[in-house]
């Protein structure tokens, strides 16, 4: 005997399958994050309240049950407060959508939306000093094709302040090497932004494209950084590469490289270095692709040096403007040493 879909199943399937990707235009990663929240919610209801997923209705999701779900995430699954707040935000987003789709549920929705976020300590922004960036850039072996690719990839990750998924999604057609050199990044909500490239990064990228024998006109939609299979590198793949070179740099300069280094730390580092150089927060916001200046202000609050010294007048690039580009017969040791100058 078939079970008739519940009102919750109906609205959740429309929300995840149509509203988020269609009307809102959010990325597949965002849809997956929302889906994971409701997967956990269904598991909680089945394990704690013994309500099978096919029996869950909107009335089942009372404010008390949602609050108990958040406590379960924290106590039973060991989730951090930030993670619990992220799950609550996903629940809130669904019930905001439900208000317009089912006005009869308006009071119920408002009760859920009234559930507060848990207070959490201000996160500490982790970022590398400029010397740490330079130390990592000396690690890829530029005598190998893979090493040269990795050098360009890490340089671009830092220089553009890109999110790791934005870097993974880059296509050859997103690159403009003619002056002024720029790159087009596609971020959250499929929003694009144009980011300028510093001269050394532009030169490295141009040599990488030439060496890879990429024909921009014929194969412009191919990934800029393909894997061995020809597909684009994954976020995990990029994180692995960065972690590998961070380990090498850490063995030489443990004071500059933290024990845990994610690609997002490179984004934080770029923002902090620009801020310390006196670049206006509005420009940093546009570079990072933040919707609101309030998001960017976290860097100003995190930088204690801003309270005790004047902003630097000029921003020194991690890849110095006088840095020699690799050539076929360039001495490796001389080239690497020049990066730290």
Q: What pTM was computed for the model? A: 0.64
pLDDT for the residue 113:
96
Domain ranges of the chain: 7-113, 130-339
DSSP code, position 17: I
Are residues 256 and 129 in contact, defined by beta-carbon separation less than 8 angstroms?
Answer: yes
Q: Are 286 and 193 in contact (CB under 8 A)?
A: yes
Distant-in-sequence, close-in-space partners of 202: CB < 8 Å, separation ≥ 6: 177, 181
DSSP code per residue over 139-185:
-S-TTSHHHHHHHHHHHHHHHHT--HHHHHT-BGGGEE-SSSPEEEE
Angle at 183 between CA 156 and CA 327, to 5 degrees: 50
Q: Long-range contacts: 56-62, Cβ < 8 Å, 24+? A: 56/6, 56/8, 56/9, 57/6, 57/7, 57/8, 58/6, 58/7, 58/8, 58/11, 58/98, 58/102, 58/105, 58/108, 59/108, 60/8, 61/8, 61/112, 62/111
pLDDT of residue 322: 42
pLDDT of residue 318: 55
- pLDDT value for 210: 85
Residue 88 to residue 16: CA distance in whole angstroms: 16
Residue closest to 166 by CA, chosen among 147, 188, 144:
188
Could you tell me the two tokens for 79? 């989730």
Please give the distance of CA 268 from its chain centroid, rounded to a whole number: 10
Q: Residue 105 gets which letter from DSSP?
A: G
Give me the tens of pLDDT residue by residue for the chain, a chain 341 residues long: 456 789 999 999 999 999 998 888 887 888 999 999 999 999 999 999 999 999 999 999 999 999 999 999 999 999 989 899 999 999 999 999 999 999 999 999 999 999 999 887 666 678 899 999 999 999 999 888 889 999 999 999 999 999 999 999 999 889 988 888 899 998 877 788 999 898 888 989 988 888 877 655 545 778 898 888 888 899 999 999 999 999 999 999 999 998 889 999 999 999 888 888 888 888 888 888 887 777 777 777 666 554 444 444 445 555 544 444 555 545 555 555 565 55
Q: CB 114: neighbour CB atoms within 10 A? A: 9
Contact between 240 and 150 (Cβ < 8 Å): no
**139: nearest Cα among 238, 242, 43, 256:** 242
Closest CA to 225 of 288, 176, 154: 154
The distance of Cα 47 from the centroid of its chain, to the nearest Å, equals 33
**CA–CA separation, 183 vs 117, rounded Å?**
37
The reported pLDDT for the residue numbered 292 is 76
Written out in words, the top-level CATH class of the domain with range 130-339 is mainly alpha
Token pair for residue 252? Answer: 């030489």
**Is 115 within 8 Å of 66 (Cβ atoms)?**
yes
Alpha-carbon torsion, ordered 182, 183, 187, 191, to 10 deg = 60
| pLDDT for residue 287 | 84
Q: Looking at residue 5, what is its pLDDT?
A: 84
Contact in structure between 79 and 62 (CB atoms under 8 Å)? no
Ramachandran area for residue 24 (φ above 0: left; ψ -120 to 50: alpha; else beta): alpha
Residue 193: partners with Cβ closer than 8 Å, 6 or more residues away: 184, 185, 187, 286, 287, 289
């Amino acid at each position: 005997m078939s079970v008739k879909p519940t009102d919750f199943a109906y609205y959740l399937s429309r929300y995840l399958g149509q509203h988020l990707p269609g009307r809102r235009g959010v990325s597949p990663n965002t849809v997956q994050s929302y889906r994971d929240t409701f997967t956990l919610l269904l598991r909680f209801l089945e394990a704690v309240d013994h309500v099978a997923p096919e029996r869950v209705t909107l009335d089942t999701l009372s404010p008390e049950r949602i609050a108990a779900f958040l406590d379960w995430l924290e106590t039973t699954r060991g989730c951090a407060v930030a993670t619990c707040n992220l799950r609550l935000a996903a629940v809130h987003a669904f019930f905001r959508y439900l208000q317009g789709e089912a006005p009869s549920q308006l009071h119920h929705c408002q009760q859920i939306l009234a559930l507060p976020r848990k207070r959490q300590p201000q996160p500490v922004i982790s970022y590398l000093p400029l010397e740490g960036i330079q130390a990592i850039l000396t690690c890829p072996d530029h005598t190998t094709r893979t090493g040269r690719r990795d050098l360009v990839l890490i340089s671009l990750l830092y220089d553009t302040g890109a999110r790791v998924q934005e870097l993974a999604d880059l296509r050859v057609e997103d690159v403009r090497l003619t002056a002024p050199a720029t790159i087009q990044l596609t971020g959250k909500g499929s929003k694009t932004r144009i980011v300028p490239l510093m001269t050394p990064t532009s030169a490295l990228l141009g040599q990488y494209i030439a060496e890879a024998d990429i024909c921009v006109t014929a194969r412009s939609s191919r990934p800029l950084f393909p894997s061995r299979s020809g597909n684009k590198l994954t976020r995990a793949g990029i994180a692995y590469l960065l972690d590998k070179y961070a380990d090498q740099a850490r063995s030489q300069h443990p004071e500059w490289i933290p024990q845990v280094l994610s690609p997002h730390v490179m984004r934080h580092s770029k923002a902090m270095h620009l801020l310390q150089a006196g670049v206006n927060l509005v420009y940093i916001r546009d570079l990072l692709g933040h919707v609101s200046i309030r998001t960017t202000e976290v860097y100003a609050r995190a930088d204690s040096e801003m309270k005790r010294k004047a902003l630097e007048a000029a921003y020194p690039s991690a890849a110095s403007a006088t840095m020699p580009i690799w050539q076929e017969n360039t001495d490796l040791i001389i080239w690497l040493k020049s990066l730290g100058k």
